Structure 1
């Protein structure tokens, strides 16, 4: 009897004459390392060198399949708007080669999930369309009063804490969580579990946040990936029960939309449904939490900008939100795969090669942003690339902006003074991350 073939990741075809530039050889291992993303100065320096010396850099980092690092704002936009030419389906994020091999062996393909992030059209469009109305400006606007009330609740909590707290841990993490869980229809008592599971996914490379720290002690190179698998299993169990309930008792929430979703005349599949819940539950608050805290930190480190915000929060909250999102850039990258040969910046990208869209670099591009390393609450225009571009532009961007605007206006209209009370720390993660801790002292 013949052996059954095991699916493996595609081999990257490489021009034999292709080699890494001096700049790429110096920093390619840095721009994939979770440690670098916990040090904003180191990350900025690595991307600045690539933008100046090799803006479309061929990278062959250790333990990863090679890729092109796309570091200029214009180039990220150019790739992002061409969704048929540069697709998500083969490789949507950085993963160790060994982890990719495990996924292929388990699933026969490149992904454990089928979220909007991993899918291309036409299925991407069809699934996105199911919930899209919930996140459009007209629908988000109807939740403004509820969001303002939640913002007030968390600033009240901050005031009650007596003049010191960890803004990230005590406020920024839980405020957007409450908003998205209400939209999804998850009970308040389950919010701590949802936060824990989300942190285990996006913080799987951080020893403080990953689920199974014993794997680190065993020296397992795929410790973070294996921890994610355990977390996903728990997510699946939880939302399988949600699906069953919403099919019997539909409500006015996004969970009911997913549970009863129809695509091409058929209910969406189990994996697609579970993936949809997870992307809404996890990405729906984690990125907003990161930007909310990152924006406050940017102001605390720039007292003149903090003063502007405190003097007139209503006038500056909208622009401060976009600046916080630019400054923090919570989603660090997505990847695309070329479906045909393509020329960019005089370089030939071959069909089948991967491109790393380096969002933190695009948001510091000197050709687009004046003084890109300065935090300005009134920066305008502000052509942030944080939400992506094209067909995969972030579905929740209008909600995120409204949430952040509400909490900033509530906080800065009430607080009399606020300053750092210790050294902030950042999550060790190369995909999604931001501040881990922001100790502050303040007076109301």
Structure 2
């Protein structure tokens, strides 16, 4: 049989591999579950189909080059009428039941949009994220980093680096960039954790049950609470000049009219959640790697000009965004597989970032990797709009922290968030000595 005629039924992968890639619980132990499954797929079935009970059949895209192709070909692959974030069938049905039109889309944010709507909304905010504007906030971020590092130094040599330091620094950075009152930081933290924690029993909200749609219910309830908060902020900040994100979004226009609450809230939520959880996961995951390889800490601490390289390799290594979904908008072929219109594809960024064909020695954390081509910020039209802020934030944090550390070791068992979407470590107990 010609590989050019291979269909989804013929490309089905083994059950245990499919479950290791699709199920949120597989990501609490990446080293022994999801990453070995990705490696097996790249070697044996790089574009295969996962059939997991409770989920739609999914094409699993594991190769760097294939992910890039899907991301840039917006005429063939898009969001379409499906969810760009993997949910159970019960979860998607829950979202449809909430929509008068029966649509799965539950937020007016760019990840749910295809061109031209995507481009129209994104271009409103692109100027704010340009390098010149990002640099204007560096002094504020550095002062914040100094305070957080001083707070860490006040601990008696032991701290949960993720829960007590990295999570709060990145959260407070977002509050600062938004121009929101710092007394609202707990609101931001609680909602951000709930937003991505719907599949983690330890992060479940009290108003969510235990049925198959629980994760979708948590997502929807958290979006509702975010909307309540930000709708009030839009009214408060409208007509007010300022360089902060609240002022910029509240006073922007769409099609010549003031931005409506749906579009405004969608952008607020995306920037808070993606800006916080991805950077905190990257910071804590990079710290864990420096514990496993102490020479990394010593090298960067003694030559802090290496901080940008530590950031870049940290993003590749951690890959805090685990996937986004795309839908085939027409019949097509990819890697010799026949993909039918309407079939769904799961782009697995951690796998692409460990693809041996595209990345030299991908299982090595290499500060000297050049060029460092990775998919940690996505690719194509949906590439992360806040990547410059994220790089700047992490670089400044390492510049302030690492010269003050002599050594770091584990003081307990690291724990990962149970999620197949965005996340990483949720707890990293460490013992450290000051330089």
Q: List alignment gaps of at least 5 residues for structure 1.
A: 1-14
Is this contact kept in 2: 1:211–1:227, CA < 8 A? Answer: yes
Aligned to 1:68: 59
Cα distance between partner residues in 2 of 1:116 and 1:143: 24
Secondary structure, aligned partner of 2:60: strand
Deviation at 1:213, TM superposition (A): 7.2
Distance 1:398 1:348 in 2: 37
2:184 maps to which residue?
190
* TM norm structure 2: 0.94
Aligned pair in 2 of structure 1 residues 154, 352: CA closer, same or farther (>3 Å)? same
Taking the aligned partners of 1:78 and 1:110, their CA distance within structure 2 comes to 25
Q: Structure 1 CA distance, aligned partners of 2:6 and 2:286?
A: 45
CA distance in 1, matches of 2:128, 2:239: 21
Q: Which residue of 2 aligns with 1:370?
A: 360
State the distance in 2 between where 1:425 and 1:74 align.
Answer: 31
Q: Give me the CA root mean square deviation.
A: 1.7
Q: Are residues 1:382 and 2:376 paired?
A: no
Q: 1:248 Cα shift? A: 4.4
Q: 1:371 to 1:213 in 2, by over 3 A?
A: farther
Query: 1:13-162 to 2 correspondence within 5 Å?
Result: 18-19=8-9, 21=11, 23-41=13-31, 42-90=33-81, 91-107=83-99, 108-162=102-156
Which residue of 274, 279, 301 maps to 1:288? 279
Mapped pair 1:174 → 2:168: yes
Over residues 353-399 of structure 1, what are the superposed CA-to-partner deviations in whole Å (9 max), with x where a residue is unaligned? 11110001001111122222222233222111011111111000011
Cα displacement (A) at 1:148: 1.3
Alignment partner of 2:323 out of 333, 347, 367: 333
Q: Give the 3-state SS of the residue equivalent to 1:351 in structure 2.
A: coil
The CA deviation at 1:270 is 2.1
TM-score by length of 1: 0.92
Q: Does 1:245 align with 2:239?
A: no
Q: Which moved more, 1:155-164 or 1:129-138?
A: 129-138
SS across alignment from 1:340: coil
**Is the 1:23–1:53 Cα contact (8 Å) retained in structure 2?**
no
Give the match for residue 278 of structure 1. Answer: 269
Q: 1:161/1:327 Cα in 2 relative to 1: closer, same or farther (>3 Å)?
A: same
Partner of 2:397: 407
Instruction: Find the aligned partners of 2:208 and 2:142 in 1 and give their Cα distance.
Output: 42
Distance 2:180 2:253 in 1: 22
| Inter-partner Cα distance in structure 2 for 1:389 and 1:111 | 22
Sort the Cα spacing of 1:127 and 1:18 in 2 relative to 1 into closer, same or farther, 3 A.
closer
Q: Distance in 2 between matches of 1:133 and 1:178?
A: 22
Q: Which runs of 5+ in 2 are unaligned?
A: none
Report how far residue 105 of structure 1 moved: 2.2
Partner SS, residue 112 of structure 1? coil
Answer yes or no: is the 8 Å Cα contact 1:130–1:257 preserved in 2: no
Q: Distance in 1 between matches of 2:228 and 2:207?
A: 22
* Contact kept? 1:212, 1:227, Cα under 8 Å: no
